[in-house]
Amino acid sequence: MKLFGKNIPEQVTRLTIILIFLIVAFIFLRSLLVPPDFGKYGHYRASAVDEIILQDIKYAGSVICYDCHDDVVDSKSEGYHNKVSCEVCHGPAVLHIDDPEEFVLEAPRERGYCPLCHEYIPSRPTGFPQIVSASHNPMRPCISCHNPHDPKPPEPPRECKACHAEISRTKSLSHHVNVKCTFCHETPGDHKIQPRDFLPTKPSKREFCGLCHAENSNVPDEIPRVDIATHGEQYMCWQCHYPHLPEAN
Amino acid sequence: MKEIKTNIENNIQRRKFIKNILFSATALLFPKFIGAASVGKIKDWVLFGDYNAKDHLWGMGIDINKCIGCGRCVNACKVENNVPKVPYFFRTWVERYRIIKGKETVVDSPNGAIDGFKPQPESDGNVIRSFFVPKLCNQCDNPPCVQVCPVGATFRTDDGVVLVDKEYCIGCRYCIQGCPYGARYLDPDTQTAEKCTFCYHRIVQGLSPACVEACPTQARIFGEVKKKTSPLMRFMRKHAIGVLKPSLNTEPKVFYANMDMEVR
């Protein structure tokens, strides 16, 4: 020791001892502080995933309802609400499945619930059935006319505007107000029953607009005329004029 | 002589000082010892059945044309995950976009749309287009929130879901700042960061997330990103797909169909 120690200054020896002590202490403390499963799968504690998985499930999923309520599920599968999960209206059902007597699921019966989906809001996709609840049989609960498990309207809608309210409102402001929807859109009768399976047509040629707006068309004089062959060059009519409100720029 | 005495006194003080520092530093670690004992308790990696995270890569598709803004997903998410039922804490929420001619696009989300939307206020008839956009954590493949976590409390699992370790989170809020989609919040009770987990406790058991379960119009589609037969891949093949803020290279796994350019 003396042989080596002779040339090494004393403070270096001390510092080395302290350094070694610190390194050992660090390794020891780290092994205590860092959980053993940290870094097993990545830079995180593997058992955290276990803890997250142990969270309680509240929504049971729509399949299991069939086990007891097959009659309701069968009748629902025929109607428009066939893809609406039971728990959307009846609420989370896991407790009810564990103990059907103790936890009875409620069904919303008041008028306020259905408008969450069916109140008319222009932002909703066109064709989605919507009503203005202030004017649609006010004060009567929805379920007095509509069976929520098979919610077909008491009768098929008579007019296009029952579903396409926004377009109808726009058109009512335009010169096309008296042009019937079916004049431009050939509409299969089943469109009212299965709207997405039977789509109405749309005009595809300039000549269709020309039926009224061509120079030689046989219609009243006040209708504006253009030369269908040259007007607007290569563009289709509806690329510049919105047919439901042709006055718009 | 006097000088030497003061020197000695000084030296003793210094030694004392260093000693005290060492003691107090060790004392700081004691509560950690106790903490570590309880943290290390759960050692087993129990997973349900034969679920192997490496076999999956989860993602979600959202069809904006189908969303009716009813807010049932927001409600289901809060119920399933015990999210505080007050505004500003959301794992998923629905925004209404109104693109107005000659003006800034207006986006609103009253209470995250948990009670749906009221018919929009009159806006002088200049709304060009209006639609709903459901939002949630994008479960990025390249997540900025994981990068900024100083303690390894948030991480990306092998099946592509970004999760938060409640025990490890120190509530520093870096991840909340780092998320470009505003998808995280600080839980007011636990003071830890919280976010959408794709309902991880459900998907490992083969169930779909609560929001997907509760969507009445199937605007949300949940499934595997890399299996060609999954409903999600079918949805992605059939639609032109966009993601939010693609320029950030976060590689989100929430895919939007029929997305307007104005959505941000």
B173: left (phi over 0), alpha (psi -120 to 50) or beta: left
Q: Which residues of B touch A43 (CB under 8 A)?
A: 152, 155
| Residues B168, B121 within the same domain | yes
| Residues B159, B78 within the same domain | yes
| Residues B17, B37 within the same domain | yes
Task: Quote the CA–CA distance of B11 and B150 in Å, as a whole number.
Answer: 39
CB nearest A45 (choices: B68, B131, B165): B165
State the angle between helix axes of A10-33 and B2-39 in degrees (0 to 180), rounded to the nearest 10: 20
| C-alpha closest to that of B97 among B140, B67, B62 | B67
Q: List the single range of A77-81, A166-170, A177-181 with lowest mean pLDDT.
A: A166-170
Q: Which structure tokens are listed for A20? A: 């070694």
| Residues B82, B115 within the same domain | yes
| Residues B51, B32 within the same domain | no
Number of inter-chain CB pairs under 8 A, A vs B: 155
Q: Which residues of B touch A33 (CB under 8 A)?
A: 29, 32-33, 36
Closest-CA residue of chain B to A53: B201
| Most B-contacting residue of A49, A55, A76, A86 (CB-CB within 10 A), to test interface | A49
Q: Is A42 in Cβ contact with B155 (below 8 Å)? A: yes
| B107 inside 8 A of chain A by CB | no
Q: Domain tally for chain B? A: 2
CB nearest A52 (choices: B66, B72, B197): B197
Q: Which residues of A touch B205 (CB under 8 A)?
A: 57
Neighbours of B105 (CB within 10 A): 17
pLDDT reading at A241 higher than 50: yes
| Residues B36, B79 within the same domain | no
Q: List the single range of A47-61, A64-78, B2-16, B240-254 with lowest mean pLDDT.
A: B2-16
CB nearest A116 (choices: B47, B48, B71): B71
Name residue A65's amino acid.
Answer: C
| Most B-contacting residue of A32, A53, A82 (CB-CB within 10 A), to test interface | A53
B132 membership: H or E segment, kind and range:
strand B127-136
pLDDT score of B212:
95
Helix, strand, or coil (residue B1): coil
Q: Is B69 in Cβ contact with A40 (below 8 Å)? A: no
Q: Is B43 in Cβ contact with A52 (below 8 Å)? A: no
Q: Is B119 in Cβ contact with A52 (below 8 Å)? A: no
pLDDT reading at A163 higher than 80: no
Q: Which residues of B touch A91 (CB under 8 A)?
A: 79
Q: Is B168 in Cβ contact with A123 (below 8 Å)? A: no
Looking at per-residue confidence, does B98 or A156 come out higher?
B98
| Residues B25, B57 within the same domain | no
Q: Is B44 in Cβ contact with A117 (below 8 Å)? A: no
Q: What is the DSSP letter of A81?
A: G
| Touching A: B residues 201-230, CB under 8 Å | 201-202, 204-205, 207-208, 210, 213-218
Name residue A28's amino acid.
Answer: F
| Residues B27, B64 within the same domain | no
pTM for this model (two decimals): 0.77
Neighbours of B230 (CB within 10 A): 19
Nearest CA-CA distance, residue A142 and chain B, Å: 17
Q: Which structure tokens are listed for B225? A: 């990103």
Task: For chain B, give the DSSP string.
Answer: -HHHHHHHHHHHHHHHHHHHHHHHHHHHHHHHHHHHHHHTT------STT--GGG--EEEEEEGGG-----HHHHHHHHHHT--SSTT--SEEEEEEEEETTSPPEEE-GGGGTT--PPPPP-TT-EEEEEEEEEE----SS-HHHHH-SSS-EEE-TTS-EEE-TTT-----HHHHH-TT---EE-TTT-SEE---SSHHHHTTTPPPHHHHH-TT--EEEEESS-TTSHHHHHHHHS-EE-SSGGG----SEEEES--TT--
What ipTM was predicted for this assembly? 0.77
| Residues B5, B124 within the same domain | no
| Most A-contacting residue of B29, B30, B105, B155 (CB-CB within 10 A), to test interface | B155
Q: Which residues of A touch B212 (CB under 8 A)?
A: none
A4-17 as b/e: b if 16+ CB within 10 A: eeeeeeeeeeeeee
CATH number at residue B237: 3.30.70.20
| Residues B64, B170 within the same domain | yes
Q: Is B165 in Cβ contact with A44 (below 8 Å)? A: yes
Q: What is the pLDDT of residues B15-72, one digit of tens each?
A: 788 888 888 877 666 555 444 444 443 334 444 567 888 899 999 999 999 999 999 9
| Residues B99, B190 within the same domain | yes
Neighbours of B248 (CB within 10 A): 14
Q: Which residues of A touch B69 (CB under 8 A)?
A: 121, 123-124
Q: What is the pLDDT of residues B223-246, one digit of tens each?
A: 999 999 999 999 999 999 999 999
pLDDT score of B35:
45
Domain that holds residue B149: 44-264
pLDDT score of B30:
59
| Residues B94, B221 within the same domain | yes
Nearest CA-CA distance, residue A222 and chain B, Å: 27
- Domain boundaries of chain A, sorted by first residue: 2-53, 63-154, 175-240
Q: What is the pLDDT of residues A180-195, one digit of tens each?
A: 999 999 999 888 877 7
Q: Could you tell me the pLDDT band of residue B9, with boundaries at 50, 70 and 90?
A: low
A57: left (phi over 0), alpha (psi -120 to 50) or beta: beta
